Amino acid sequence: MATDEILVRRAQAGDMAAFGELVGRYQDRVYGLSTRLLTCTEDARDAAQEIFIRVFKTLPGFDLRADFTTWLYRVATNVCLDQLRRRHRERLCSLPARDESGSQDRLQDDRAGPEELLLDKERQQAVRRAVADLPDEYRVALVLHHYQQLSYRQVAACLDLTEKTVATRIHRAKLRLRQRLLLGGESDAL
């Protein structure tokens, strides 16, 4: 399997097939990021498409000495933040349509009864709402670290922040989630 660097070099030279391979390699991660930042599958899909188009257009300027994944997440985060700025918070979709019959629910069919499934779904939706209601700067740091598995250093590089600021934002995000989901700060306590 070709490395990212090889594919990026080929894509920079105009090789569409190589770029297609990069898209295939990263589409789940990019879509996962946009879903969690925008909390709406329709917006997330549009954002993911826009992210890859922007990546393609700016790829000739990408410095191969840099880490491609971090750069990709930086582009992706900027596109998502642009979208968030463009729309009102009220437009956030709290319950993505795909979730209604999502693969996760089907996977759990064998091991859980209907009540357990319902409880899991309620918990998941409470988590989604709680994450969606975090301030953007907290949510971005949390999502990049917890869901996209970026280290504090990578998140800092991605967002042009210091590691200390990233740590503070993630800390505060978790405190808010703890207050809301565990201590009954709002109606989503579990």
Partner 1 sequence: MRCSKAQEMLNRYLAGSCNPLESEAVAGHLAGCPGCAARLAELKDVNELLDLWQQESAPEDLLQSVMQSLRRQPQRQLEEQPVAGRTAMLIRHLAVAAILALAFTWGAGPWLANAEVVDANKLVSSYAGASDNVSKHTVSTAERVFSKLNYEEWLRR
Minimum distance from residue 75 beta carbon to partner 1 (Å): 14
Neighbours of 155 (CB within 10 A): 26
Q: Which residues from 111-150 bind partner 1, rule CB under 8 A?
A: 120, 123-124, 127-128, 131, 142, 145-147
Residue 64 interacts with partner 1 (CB under 8 A)? Answer: no
**What values do phi and psi take at 69, rounded to 5?**
-60, -45
User: DSSP labels for 117-162?
Assistant: HHHHHHHHHHHHHHHHTS-HHHHHHHIIIIIT---HHHHHHHHT--
Nearer to partner 1, 84 or 141 (CB): 141
Nearer to partner 1, 84 or 148 (CB): 148
Distances (CA, A) of 99 to 38, 75, 95, 124, 161: 15, 26, 7, 10, 33
Beta-strand ranges (E) seen in the chain are none
Q: Indicate the DSSP class of residue 94.
A: S
Residue 156 interacts with partner 1 (CB under 8 A)? Answer: no
Q: Which residues from 9-28 bind partner 1, rule CB under 8 A?
A: 14, 16, 19-20, 23-24, 27-28
Tokens standing for 82?
């642009």
Nearer to partner 1, 24 or 114 (CB): 24
Mapped onto helix, strand or coil, the DSSP state of residue 134 is coil
Nearer to partner 1, 88 or 135 (CB): 135
- How many residues line the site for partner 1 (CB under 8 A)? 51
Which chain residues interact with partner 1 by CB under 8 A? 14, 16, 19-20, 23-24, 27-28, 30-32, 35-36, 41, 45, 48-49, 52-53, 56-58, 60-61, 98-99, 102-104, 120, 123-124, 127-128, 131, 142, 145-147, 151-152, 167-168, 170-171, 174, 177-178, 181-182, 190
